[in-house]
Structure 1
Amino acid sequence: MSRPELGVIAETFDCVVVGGGPSGATAARHLAEQGRTVLLLDRQGRIKPCGGAIPPRLIRDFDIPDSLICARASEARMIAPSDKRVRMPIEGGYVGMVNRETFDEWLRVRAERAGAQRRTGIYTGIEREADGSAVVLYRAVGVDKDAPPMAVRARMVIGADGAKSSVAAQEVKGADRQRYVFAYHEIIKAPSRGAADFEPQRCDVWYQGQLSPDFYAWIFPHGDTASIGVGSMQKGFSLRTATTALRKLTGLDACETVRTEGAPIPLKPLKRWDNGRDVIVAGDAAGVVAPASGEGIYYAMECGRLAAEAVEAALLNRDPRHLKTARSRFMRAHGKVFMVLGVMQHFWYRSDKRRERFVSMCADPDVQALTWQAYMNKELVRAKPAAHARIFLKDMGHLLGLRPA
């Protein structure tokens, strides 16, 4: 039912997108390019803690210009509990690194140029009119909380408002059962070459229990700056203390801190993304962050695109059943990757002994080749059965303790 204090609702949009991160901005742009009226509603000033890595497939699929790439990582280095260090060079390619503050805003501007309307506001809920139509309520930033909310009518709503999504909590069954890794990072000014254990073309991933008991810590280059952070599911574990320890361990404690950020990261896709009539979620709100790696930018943008296509089909055919296609298409393309990474996280991250063996496995050329091919192209590599067989035998050797760590 409509609330009398809302008064006359002057605006109606084909779709209101709540959240202007990579997923929401991508969805808004796609729908606007189809000629739909779109409102992109975003709360200003929030930047998600993120290493900022984007694979070549994202750059290709979403037309990302070189100007947004602030660094090109040509290798990763894995650090084991014993301090054993394994380098994983990327043969013939690189991983692009972006600053989320710049990257996300560029995506929002692109959506606006495609025809989406942008507004800064805080989503407060969805009301229903007498005929069941959705009315999206939001509060302008800086306005008294007791003031009446702003209201727009929406034929469809995409909730891309991040982990612990307010849209999902209200409209999507099962969203309240999601589990999270909590992440924290500090953006620092990058040290001069040789001044610390840091290289501007290398991503460092630390698998040590004192830095993270069940996930990992990282140092990622961002050109003039760097992201140094930690993730963990363990309640009571101090992410800030672990980040401080990592900075001291690597000589980055002397670098100036630019800003700090923290946020939950979902562990797996929700079993349902829509409410069956006019709301669908995307990005972190849908849980599309890769287990084990915590990678989310590519999957968020892909999810946003699929959600927009599902909304377009639902609007065109006047049939909300099309909303279900976004999740089914995403899981068909990426579900196996998520399953494999989930099993890997569950097994290998549980103790320092297992983490030690995991890092040892990363030294294997077959593992490195298939890992990078899968990461860069966002699909499991099926063309090398002999390499898969070798990896399986080596993996079983590590699992059974038959191979040295």
Structure 2
Amino acid sequence: MSECQTFDVVVVGGGPAGATAANDLARDGYSVALIDRGGRIKPCGGAIPPKLLRDFAIPEHLMVARATTARMVAPSKKAVDMDIGGFVGMVDREEFDEWLRDRAARNGATRFTGSFKQITREGDGYATVHFAPKGALNDARETVRARLVIGADGARSAVAKQEVTGGENNKCVFAYHEIVRSPANGENFDGSRCDVYYQGEVSPDFYGWIFPHGKCTSVGVGSAQKGFSLRGATASLRQKSGLEGVETIRCEGAPIPLQPLKRWDNGQDVLLVGDAAGVVAPASGEGIFYAMTCGRRAAETAGVFVRTGDARVLRQARKRFMKEHGMVFRILGIMQHFWYRDDGRRERFVNICADRDVQRLTWQAYMNKKLVRANPIAHVRIFFKDMAHLLRIVNP
């Protein structure tokens, strides 16, 4: 075991949330250790809004594609194309996440590659993080010490399970995707279009997707239903879309949380962020923007904690995040609960997506990451159209 180093903050997990927290803290002059397992790529459609590029100073070269249209496919195979009115950036998580970790290191964070094992304490105000270095033999362990530990180690967070009450109760959708070689644009494939399949045979409670990543494309599905074959559904989706014959580059699967935990801290010296805190948007499954925003709020809170030693401030990270995005999460949760129940409701949901008011307000909210309150007449029209579908006054 090497000599134990001491830091202000140790971040466990180097995805968008953890890497952002580490970067912000290091940039602000705090000593930071970033521990990441290395070699793992989360299954992800890779969509990011332009707001993320601006807020987090992300260079455009990390975008491997720009989607300008979203195609919604109903159980009846009816397709509705939604004009985004701008673009959704697409990133490859293998390259994107490593760039974020490298930026944190360039700003002063110390990187370690290894797997988290446990946290111990000796009563001196510091937590000791034990981890197994990558490639170590005979179960070798290393340790680092810190005033605060930020758990950013995913939906099945070992940090959360050990340290935060309720941390093991993250409700999840299980996601699986295959990265395939993108074909040439044609009738069934468009490198500037994201396809979303709302069909029970593709997913009984979520959706399937085909998201272009330039030279590659993510084809995947999600479901919380035990026993549902994600691999089989993905194979079916590839066949439906004419992608069954293209080269498969890699396959990935992981749980994706769809509900923020009620508590993100242990009241002492641990704070959760990203998937570990449950900040993936219901209905859409969007996580990168919310993870990075969560990481930033955690870094701000961590700075106050390190300066003051007041553990009560740790609750501010969740409080600030939910004040900004809690209403969107609640509305999306209601949408998923209602519209994804069966194919009849999915059919009506896709039909609603054809409405121009719905398209405009949906993408304005996505681009700006807040509910759009302008144009009340449009909201009134949407309300009555939704009611017509709910009461089955109109045909899907």
TMscore range, shorter length: over 0.9
- Residue equivalent to 2:35: 41
For residue 351 of structure 2, the aligned residue among 333, 351, 360 is 360
List gaps (5 residues or longer) in structure 1.
1-5
Kept in 1, the 8 Å contact 2:125–2:147? The answer is: no
Kept in 2, the 8 Å contact 1:76–1:88? The answer is: yes
- Residue equivalent to 1:121: 114
Query: Match for 2:390: what amino acid?
Result: L
Q: Residue by residue, what CA displacement relative to the aligned partner does 1:337-362 show, whole Å, maximum 9, x if unpaired?
A: 00000000000000000000000000
Kept in 1, the 8 Å contact 2:305–2:313? The answer is: yes
> 1:197 Cα deviation (Å)?
1.2
Between stretches 113-122 and 137-146, larger displacement belongs to 137-146
Kept in 1, the 8 Å contact 2:126–2:148? The answer is: no
Kept in 1, the 8 Å contact 2:132–2:139? The answer is: no
- Residue 296 (structure 2) pairs with residue 302 (structure 1): no
- Residue 266 (structure 2) pairs with residue 272 (structure 1): no
Kept in 1, the 8 Å contact 2:70–2:193? The answer is: yes
> 1:33 Cα deviation (Å)?
0.8
| Paired residues, number | 396
For residue 144 of structure 1, the aligned residue among 125, 137, 145 is 137
- Residue equivalent to 1:3: none
- Residue equivalent to 1:84: 78
> 1:132 Cα deviation (Å)?
5.2
SS of the equivalent of 1:176 reads coil
Give the TM-score of the pair, scaled to structure 1.
0.96
Query: Match for 1:338: what amino acid?
Result: F
Q: For residues 112 and 146 of structure 1, do their structure 2 counterparts lie closer, same or farther at Cα, with a shift above 3 Å needed?
A: closer
Kept in 2, the 8 Å contact 1:9–1:153? The answer is: no
> 1:145 Cα deviation (Å)?
5.0
- Residue equivalent to 1:193: 185
Q: Residue by residue, what CA displacement relative to the aligned partner does 1:232-269 show, whole Å, maximum 9, x if unpaired?
A: 00000000000001111111011100000000001110
Give the TM-score of the pair, scaled to structure 2.
0.98
- Residue equivalent to 2:328: 337
Q: Percent identity over the alignment?
A: 64
SS of the equivalent of 1:291 reads coil
- Residue 126 (structure 2) pairs with residue 133 (structure 1): yes
Kept in 2, the 8 Å contact 1:288–1:300? The answer is: yes
- Residue 165 (structure 2) pairs with residue 165 (structure 1): no
For residue 179 of structure 1, the aligned residue among 166, 171, 176 is 171
> 1:10 Cα deviation (Å)?
3.2
Two-structure CA RMSD over aligned residues (Å): 1.1
- Residue equivalent to 2:62: 68
Aligned-partner Cα distance in 1 for 2:125–2:295: 25
SS of the equivalent of 2:168 reads helix
- Residue 389 (structure 2) pairs with residue 395 (structure 1): no
Aligned-partner Cα distance in 2 for 1:393–1:211: 30
Kept in 2, the 8 Å contact 1:206–1:216? The answer is: yes
> 1:383 Cα deviation (Å)?
1.1
Aligned-partner Cα distance in 2 for 1:184–1:266: 14
> 1:193 Cα deviation (Å)?
2.1
